[in-house]
């Protein structure tokens, strides 16, 4: 498509491309059109649940950060407070050992952060009910300490 001067103008080029894309040729979709019915049916299917789709990377990172913060709080707990949470933790001896190891490391040491990350990883291996129970107990302890 050349104009009288032999140069293709942008306006003419866009109009030509729009006409090409709007033609109903098999396998070619118009720009901004809906997906083919077969693909649209997959996305709107009620059988497609969250069990099939994996969680987003952002939500996985948020969960991991939350578990690391729980690990930091568990390490900061005193012996009596840790015993209050321990019924949930008793099922995992490795977790209790990791917490006691972290207590022996200086808080400013980089090794402590690594150990807290390891504790977070161990917390991730617990069931979601156990994680929620630990979180509930720690929230209860925080509320009690804020009252006094």
Q: Residues 116, 68: contact at Cβ < 8 Å? A: yes
Residue range 115-141, pLDDT digits in tens: 999 999 999 998 889 899 999 988 888
Q: 91 near 63, Cβ under 8 Å?
A: no
**pLDDT tens digit string along 3-49?**
455 555 565 555 555 554 455 555 555 555 565 565 555 555 555 55
Provide the residue ranges of all domains of the chain, joining segments of one domain with +.
1-53, 57-147
Residue with the larger pLDDT of the pair 72 and 46:
72
The whole model's pTM is what? Answer: 0.61
Are 77 and 85 in contact by the 8 Å Cβ rule? The answer is yes
């Amino acid at each position: 498509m050349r104009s009288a001067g032999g140069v293709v103008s942008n306006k003419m080029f866009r109009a030509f491309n729009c006409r090409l894309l709007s033609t109903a040729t098999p396998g070619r979709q118009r720009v901004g059109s809906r997906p083919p019915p077969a693909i649209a049916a997959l996305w709107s299917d009620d059988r497609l649940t969250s069990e099939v789709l994996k969680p987003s990377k952002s939500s996985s990172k948020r969960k991991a950060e939350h578990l690391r913060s729980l690990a930091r709080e568990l390490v900061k707990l005193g012996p009596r407070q840790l015993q209050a949470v321990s019924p949930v933790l008793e099922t995992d001896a490795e977790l209790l050992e990791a917490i006691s190891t972290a207590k022996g490391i200086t808080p400013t040491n980089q090794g402590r952060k690594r150990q807290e990350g390891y504790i977070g990883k161990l917390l991730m291996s617990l069931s979601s009910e156990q994680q929620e129970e630990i979180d509930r107990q720690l929230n209860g302890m925080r509320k009690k300490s804020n009252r006094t």
